[in-house]
Chain A
Amino acid sequence: MKTFRLGGIHPQENKFSAGKKIQIAELPKQVVIPLSHYIGSPSEAVVKKGDLVKVGQLIGKANGFISANVHSSVSGKVNKIDVQLDASGYKRPAVFIDVEGDEWEETIDRSTELKRDCNLTKEEILAKIKDAGIVGLGGATFPAHVKLSPPPGKKADILIINAVECEPYLTCDHQLMLEKGDEILVGITIIMKALGVTKAVIGVENNKKDAVAHLSKLAANYPGVEVQALKVQYPQGGEKQLIDAVIRRQVPSGRIPIEVGAVVQNVATTYAIYEAVQKNKPMVERVMTITGKDAPNPGNYLVRLGIYLSHVVDMAGGVPAGTGKIVGGGPMMGRSLMNLNVPMAKGSSGVLFIKDEESVRKPIQNCIRCAKCVTVCPMGLEPFLLMNQSERNMWPEMETNRTMDCIECGSCSYTCPSNRPLLDYIRYGKSTVGGIIRNRAAK
């Protein structure tokens, strides 16, 4: 069975919420819709205090090339535009809306029936995706339309759908594939049309055998689409790792996947693109997983953007006793949340409760030069060396040792027998080196 060739780990899967039907989260009294994104510049608010908005109405306009539109996820009155602590751990601008009823924009088709045919041209499809404010739902929230418009002179020949979900605990993509298989496949044909490619591969890890079987059965009706089961290995969901696993092409250091003729989209993004193009529905909700070893009711929830995570968690049975840490996202790449009063953002893929005894960091010991971190690094870096250089502020050396290639998957920290905080230091070095490179480019 295929997988990527360099490094990788296999943490305990713990997919407690697998097979749980997607439940729809109730609407709270107030939502807070963040205007900023994980990367790129924040959107600009186009509503003001007191405005009445409907579901799907534009409230934040994309500001710059790497930015996305933001739409209201509820109907009601704009209470204020203010800063709000979000999952990034910082206070950022957001639109506060008091919920009144649930009135949708008339243009949005809310029926659940499958709409298979798409007669739009390439440009129309891209414009619709851009207007709908769709971003990559795998976690990096990179605007989808940017990824689907390759730079001039570059041509994609294959589309790879990232349905790997290699993070332990998370099951939202898995459940989406089981429930919305047809819609996802239509979404794939739309993206294929937008890119002008004839071949698409859905990469699914083999711990989701039911999804592989379901999608393979459906894919028979869609020419050019095939499903590829992959060996379970973290971080297979990384773009470069997935390309290597599926089509055995290696993206060179510092380049993007289009250089080897591949475009990767997440499976949830594909579903969002289907809804945007066929149903005119902008990005107002997504599926997230609420889970944990002691979670009373682990499950998958369809949550509107801007709902406080505390509201969704209450719906799922509340925070279990003895929780030491709450993580937004998966256990490997997610961030610890400062508290649960943070709004649901486009990139929120899950809430994970970690038990008290598991959440404590173990004491740091000396590096014993066992090279386990080098073995597991999927980018072929030397994490112990990068950490040492970061500790000593050796930025030029870090740059020559390709620290900017690090995808921050955390495999090195996971595997280190001396519990060294490798990723923390590499991330610090990466941000500093990135700043130095940007300054040099600006000169």
Chain B
Amino acid sequence: MNLILLSLLTLGIVGAVSAVILYFVAKKFHVYEDPRIDQVEAALPAANCGGCGYPGCRGFADACVKADTLDGLLCPVGGNETMAKVADILGKTAVAAAPTVAVVRCGGTCDHRPRMNEYDGVKHCFIAHNLYSGETGCSWGCLGLGDCEVSCEFDAIHVNPITKLPEVDEDKCTSCGACVKACPKLLIELRKKGPKSRRIYVSCRNEDKGHITRKACDVGCIGCSKCEKTCPHEAITITNNLAFIHDDKCKLCRKCVEVCPTNAIVELNFPPRKVKTEEVAAEA
């Protein structure tokens, strides 16, 4: 009986003393944390993808609270909606950013870009890239081994087994940029989603001279600069035999798509073109 009492008493006293010490220590070393950080974090999608450039959602919430304005801070997963919520909590104004989406700038499917040899090494784009330029004659194009697919946390990019090219699922893509970093050929770019998801881009990264590109791939950009001359908005520039469409200047007029001799310029989600009246007349 004594033993039980003694144990209870000892433990009780130790507990009480510790509680007092802990209470004062907690008071003394209290770190003030802005309660708004928790609120902002709750408003974020909790994907912890790092697409914003901060280590996870809490890091981003911390940055939002500390920042004077929300300029340049964007959660790519949540988009403008989430940023508006964050702005509400913090009493700041959010700058609406145009939503972006990942595009794969290579159109070299098996039909367009014949395989010249067979790679039997490790199925890992970076390792293949260290060894050689790829199974086809094009040393710039997609290797098709799926590093982007592995890197995507949102299940939004998949290598099509038929074309051996990655395809982006627009609804799932949050434009976090993980695949951009994963691609050793630097093929993936984050572009403005555009009105009604309509986009025009050059689906090629080949900087070789035209005749070399042409030999390797049917749909490669040969740098003929027809699109550059046609574009009424000066949105297209050609550097190193490769055209690039600047999405901030592009007005989606689709004139470049019509003149491209190799069909390297891709239009997405546009309604079918109206057949020109002259052609109809000629057919009749």
Listed in ascending order, the chain A residues whose CB lies under 8 Å from chain B are 82-83, 85, 88-91, 335-336, 338-339, 360-361, 421, 424-425, 427-428, 431-432
Contacts and interface: CB of A to CB of B under 8 A. Distances in A.
Closest 6 CB pairs of A and B: A89-B132, A424-B122, A421-B122, A90-B133, A424-B127, A428-B127
B209 A82 contact: yes
Interface residues of B, number: 16
B133 A89 contact: yes
A88 B122 contact: no
Contacts of A431: 130
5 contacts: A85-B139, A88-B132, A91-B133, A421-B127, A425-B122
A371 B133 CA distance: 33
A82 B122 CA distance: 32
Contacts of A432: 126
Contact of A91 (B122, B127, B139): B139
Contacts of A85: 133, 139
A339 B126 CA distance: 22
B208 A83 contact: yes
B280 interface: no
B60 to A, nearest CB: 22
B127 A427 contact: yes
Contacts of A335: 131-132
A268 B23 CA distance: 79
Given A338-B132, A428-B130, 9 more contacts: A82-B209, A89-B132, A91-B139, A338-B133, A339-B116, A361-B121, A421-B121, A425-B127, A427-B130
A431 B126 CA distance: 10
A432 B139 CA distance: 20
Given A91-B212, A335-B132, A338-B132, A361 B120 contact: yes
Most chain B beta-carbon neighbours within 10 Å: one of A338, A360, A425 = A338
Interface string B107-137: 0000000001100111010110011110000
A428 B145 CA distance: 15
A85 B132 CA distance: 10
Contact of B124 (A83, A338, A428): A428
A91 B208 contact: yes
A386 to B, nearest CB: 14
Contacts of B121: 361, 421, 424
Nearest to B136: A338
Contacts of A428: 124, 126-127, 130
A171 to B, nearest CB: 26
Contacts of A338: 116-117, 132-133
A266 to B, nearest CB: 24
Contacts of A88: 132
A425 B130 CA distance: 10
Contacts of B124: 424, 428
Interface string B123-157: 01011001111000001000000000000000000
A194 to B, nearest CB: 36
Contacts of A89: 131-133
A82 B212 CA distance: 10
Interface string B202-225: 000000110010000000000000
Nearest to B120: A361
B212 A83 contact: yes
B81 to A, nearest CB: 32
A335 B133 CA distance: 12
Contacts of B209: 82-83
B222 to A, nearest CB: 15
B35 to A, nearest CB: 35
Contacts of B120: 360-361
Contacts of B127: 421, 424-425, 427-428
A339 B139 contact: no
Nearest to A420: B122
Interface string B238-271: 0000000000000000000000000000000000
